[in-house]
């Protein structure tokens, strides 16, 4: 079938496009991406070469009604990744998040409803996040399950929750075959270096400060991107319309532990002095409203679709470090210019306040 992937030049989207084409020789993929700062055509240069007859890129906005309607009239399925996705950016200014994440999703849902008009066999996958559930305490025995009420606590997660609700509403009101994935913290190749893992790897290599919010004990469930892609495809092809599926990695780790592991892995591979690089860990002023813990129960996905993580945390992080070290030229290209200005604005003042005189335990 022909599958429309939105945001296919972003981190998870580009990995998913590559996964779909490599695994399904009869499928065609159309990639709709606006190419904002985190979208990069270079991430799919191999796909354009290897799958030229089955892959097409369209530059455009998910808010463009005419464009989306035309693309969906030709597609049997859509997997909707396109989103503004960085919490820090949403705190600094949430308007773009509402425009893309809420209004863009609404436009895509409405265009799918009109284009498919009661056809059978279609599938609309909305890619949400575990952040829509809110937060857990460190000692809370509960995990996020799909029937938990959504209670987002920052502008980014609020915009994703709004689109999550809209997607469910289009299923219940119009019968649109919407399926939702709510995935945990995903890491791996081609992630834009504003996120923790690639940012830390780049700074370890460069000998720059490693900024860690607050006490560094904020816990996330870490999911390798290829496991996320397998799960998303399973929901696309086998998931039940109207249902949400958590996608987790079964790998809860505090941020500080993740950073220390990355330091060890990079130092081991490059022959750097471990204690010197560990001393670059700098605890900076905390993010406003920082959620203490996310922990996902992905049992429904395994019971219904037979999907569980195949890559454990240590193996996944080691492979990710190797990829970034082998692709330092890619990292330098995508972080040149405007991104460096953003980095200095976001972290510069906090780094100056914290200083870099060693690990500041709290």
pLDDT in tens, the chain (362 residues): 999 999 999 999 999 999 999 999 999 999 999 988 777 888 898 999 999 999 999 999 999 999 999 999 999 999 999 998 778 778 877 788 999 999 999 999 999 999 999 888 999 999 999 999 999 988 898 899 999 999 999 899 999 999 999 999 999 999 999 999 999 999 999 998 878 999 999 999 999 999 999 999 999 999 999 999 999 999 999 999 999 999 999 999 999 999 999 999 999 999 999 999 999 999 998 888 888 999 999 999 999 999 999 999 999 999 999 999 999 888 887 776 554 555 555 555 555 555 444 433 32
Cα-based distances in Å from 250 to 146, 220, 282, 299, 313? 16, 10, 28, 10, 9
Provide the pLDDT for residue 361. 34
d(CA 246, CA 226): 15
- This model's pTM is above 0.95: no
Q: How far apart are CA 76 and CA 56, in angstroms?
A: 15
Cα distance between residue 31 and residue 3, in whole Å = 9
Count how many domains the chain has.
Answer: 1
Among 131, 227, 233, 291, the active-site one is 131
Q: Is 290 helix (H, G, I), strand (E, B) or coil?
A: coil
Q: What is the pLDDT of residue 6?
A: 98
pLDDT at 195: 85
Give the domain range for residue 131: 2-189+224-247
pLDDT of residue 357: 40
CA-nearest of 71, 177, 166, 179 to 126 is: 179
293 belongs to a structural domain? no
286, part of any domain: no
CB atoms within 10 A of CB 254: 18
- What Rg, from alpha-carbon coordinates, does the chain have? 20
User: Does residue 199 lie in a domain region?
Assistant: no
Alpha-carbon span 248 to 86, nearest angstrom: 19
> Hey, which residues does 180 pair with through a beta bridge?
126, 244
Q: Catalytic: which of 55, 126, 133, 156?
A: 156
Q: What is the predicted pLDDT for the residue at 348? A: 58
CA distance 334 to 45: 14
Give the H/E segment covering residue 280. none
Flag whether 49 is in a domain. Answer: yes
- Identify whether 147 is a catalytic site residue: no
Active-site residue, 65 included:
no
Select which of 33, 84, 110, 130 is catalytic.
Answer: 130
In this prediction, residue 290 carries a pLDDT of: 87
Known active-site residue 156: yes
In a domain, 26, yes or no: yes
Considering the domain boundaries, does residue 13 fall inside one?
A: yes
CB atoms within 10 A of CB 124: 26
- Residue 356 has a pLDDT of 42
The pLDDT, as a whole number, for residue 273 is: 97
Is residue 230 assigned to a domain? yes
Q: CA-CA distance, 249 to 228, in Å (whole number)?
A: 9
Q: 10 Å Cβ neighbour count for 220?
A: 23
Place of tokens 């080691």: 318
Question: Which of left, alpha, beta for 86 (phi over 0: left; psi -120 to 50: alpha)?
Answer: beta
In a domain, 294, yes or no: no
User: For residue 15, what is the domain's CATH number?
Assistant: 3.40.50.720
Looking at residue 349, its pLDDT comes to: 55
């Amino acid at each position: 079938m022909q599958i429309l992937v939105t945001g296919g030049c972003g981190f998870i989207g580009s990995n998913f496009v590559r996964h779909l084409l490599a695994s399904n020789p009869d499928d065609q993929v159309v990639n709709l991406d606006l190419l904002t700062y985190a979208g990069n055509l270079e991430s799919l240069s191999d796909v354009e070469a290897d799958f030229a007859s089955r892959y097409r890129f369209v530059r455009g906005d998910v808010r463009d009604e005419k464009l989306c309607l035309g693309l969906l009239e030709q597609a049997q399925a859509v997997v909707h990744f396109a989103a503004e996705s960085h919490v820090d950016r949403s705190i600094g200014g949430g308007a773009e998040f509402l425009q893309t994440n809420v209004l863009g999703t609404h436009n895509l849902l409405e265009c799918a409803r009109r284009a498919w008009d009661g056809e059978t066999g279609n599938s609309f996958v909305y890619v949400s996040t575990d952040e829509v559930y809110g937060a857990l305490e460190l000692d809370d025995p509960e995990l996020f399950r799909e029937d938990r009420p959504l209670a987002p606590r920052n502008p980014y997660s609020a915009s994703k929750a709004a689109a999550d609700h809209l997607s469910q509403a289009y299923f219940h009101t119009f019968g649109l075959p919407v399926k939702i994935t709510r995935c945990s913290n995903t890491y791996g190749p081609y992630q834009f270096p504003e996120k923790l893992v690639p940012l830390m790897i780049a700074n370890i290599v460069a000998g720059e400060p490693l900024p860690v919010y607050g006490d560094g004990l904020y816990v996330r469930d870490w999911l390798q991107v290829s496991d996320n892609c397998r799960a998303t495809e399973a929901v696309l092809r086998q998931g039940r319309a109207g249902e949400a599926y958590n996608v987790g990695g079964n790998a809860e780790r505090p941020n500080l532990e993740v950073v220390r592991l990355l330091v060890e892995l990079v130092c081991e591979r490059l022959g750097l002095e471990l204690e010197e690089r560990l001393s670059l860990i700098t605890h900076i002023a905390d993010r406003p409203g920082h959620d203490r813990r996310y922990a996902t129960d992905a049992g429904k996905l395994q019971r219904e679709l037979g999907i569980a993580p195949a890559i454990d945390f240590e193996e996944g992080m080691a492979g990710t470090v190797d990829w970034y070290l082998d692709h330092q030229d890619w990292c330098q290209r995508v972080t040149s210019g405007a991104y460096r200005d953003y980095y200095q604005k976001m972290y510069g003042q906090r780094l100056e306040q914290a200083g870099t005189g060693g690990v500041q335990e709290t």
